[in-house]
């Protein structure tokens, strides 16, 4: 039987145990390696940060309707799901924002992350949003963005960079903040 | 004190066994449910209080067993001290 490859272990763990002190050092090295494995974070994609370019909205990934033109516009991208109660509360607020700001250049793209297509369709049928409510059926976009909570909305500036992020929907507080931020973004020149 | 000296192969086997058994306890071994994957967790059937009768029965058993009238629903613990 060939000896195992211990090259990845700390140096102290690879040393032969000659005396009690060396054995203690080796035991400590093993414990250290195990503690390091415990502390090692699970591999996860990095979330889209403020100031970073928002991932490209690909029509092939988003089904359920036409993707509006977003180039050079202020875009509110909202990630929602039919099973998420705050998402339901957010739709009437987004409808009001759309009514007030669409003429000034705001585009709203609500992206459903539902795994159940029928649930997505029933939600859209019930709320009939005036803005684009598309379906990220394979959850490609939401994985790329790595949203921290449901719902999360991203306000993207005319330059395509994320300017504001709202994790969760907190009723009129969120709506008020969104209005202030949208006003600021629409006032910016390209 | 008698010390046990392990052969390198036995030590390696022991280490692999340890990582196999306790590896699930490590951060890397955890399965993370992302926010967009919680449809099943958000389902109504996952609520612990979805059945009013079952909740009432469970409360009755709990308060009877603990001899604490009022159980979870009343201030104080049933000791009469507050």
How far, CA to CA in Å, does A59 sit from each of A14, A62, A146? 55, 5, 19
d(CA B29, CA A9): 19
Residues 6+ apart with CB under 8 A from A94: A76, A78, A108, A110, A129, A131
The reply to whether residue A116 touches residue B39, judged by beta carbons under 8 angstroms, is yes
Chain B CA closest to residue A80: B36
What end-to-end distance do the CA atoms of chain A give, in Å? Answer: 69
pLDDT score for B80: 57
Flag whether residue A142 sits within 8 Å of chain B, measured between CB atoms. yes
Q: Dihedral sign, CA of B33, B34, B39, B44?
A: positive
Percent of chain A predicted with pLDDT > 90: 71
Per-domain boundaries in chain B: 30-70
Give pTM, 2 decimals: 0.69
Q: Running DSSP on this structure, what letter comes out for residue B37?
A: G
Residues in chain B predicted with pLDDT less than 50, given as ranges, are 82
Per-domain boundaries in chain A: 10-40, 74-187
The reply to whether residue B36 touches residue A39, judged by beta carbons under 8 angstroms, is no
- String of DSSP letters for B1-15: -PPPPPPHHHHHHHH
Q: What is the pLDDT along chain A (190 residues), one digit of tens a residue?
A: 444 555 555 555 555 556 777 877 777 777 666 666 555 554 455 778 899 999 999 988 999 999 999 999 999 999 999 999 999 999 999 999 999 999 999 999 999 999 999 999 999 999 999 999 999 999 999 999 999 999 999 999 999 999 999 999 999 999 999 999 999 999 987 6
Flag whether residue A24 sits within 8 Å of chain B, measured between CB atoms. no
A74-187, CATH topology level: Glutaredoxin (3.40.30)
Which residues in B lie closer than 8 A to residue A42 (C-beta atoms)?
27-28, 30, 32
pLDDT score for A69: 93
d(CA B61, CA A113): 41
Of the candidates A105, A112, A130, the residue with the CA atom closest to the CA atom of residue A182: A105
Chain A CA closest to residue B30: A42
Of the candidates B62, B61, B56, B58, the residue with the CA atom closest to the CA atom of residue B77: B62
């Amino acid at each position: 039987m060939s000896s195992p490859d211990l090259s990845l272990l700390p140096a102290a763990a690879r040393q032969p145990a000659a005396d009690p002190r060396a054995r203690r050092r080796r035991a400590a090295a093993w414990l250290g390696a195990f503690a390091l494995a415990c502390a090692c974070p699970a591999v996860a994609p990095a979330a889209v940060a403020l100031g970073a370019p928002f991932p490209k909205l690909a029509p092939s990934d988003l089904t359920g309707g036409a993707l509006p033109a977003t180039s050079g516009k202020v875009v509110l991208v909202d990630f929602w799901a039919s099973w998420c109660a705050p998402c339901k509360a957010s739709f009437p607020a987004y409808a009001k924002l759309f009514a007030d700001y669409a003429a000034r250049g705001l585009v709203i793209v609500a992206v459903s992350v539902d795994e159940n297509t029928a649930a997505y369709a029933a939600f859209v049928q019930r709320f009939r949003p005036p803005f684009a409510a598309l379906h990220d059926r394979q959850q490609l976009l939401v994985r790329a963005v790595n949203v921290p909570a449901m719902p999360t909305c991203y306000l993207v500036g005319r330059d395509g960079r994320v300017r504001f992020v709202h994790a969760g929907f907190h009723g009129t507080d969120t709506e008020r903040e969104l209005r202030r931020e949208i006003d600021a973004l629409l006032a910016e020149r390209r | 004190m008698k010390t046990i000296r392990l052969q390198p192969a036995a030590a390696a086997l022991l280490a692999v066994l340890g990582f196999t058994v306790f590896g699930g306890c490590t951060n890397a071994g955890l399965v993370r449910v992302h926010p967009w994957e919680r449809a099943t967790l958000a389902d109504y059937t996952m609520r612990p209080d979805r059945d009013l009768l079952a909740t009432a029965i469970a409360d009755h058993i709990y308060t009877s067993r603990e001899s604490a009238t009022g159980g979870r629903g009343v201030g104080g613990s049933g000791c009469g001290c507050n």
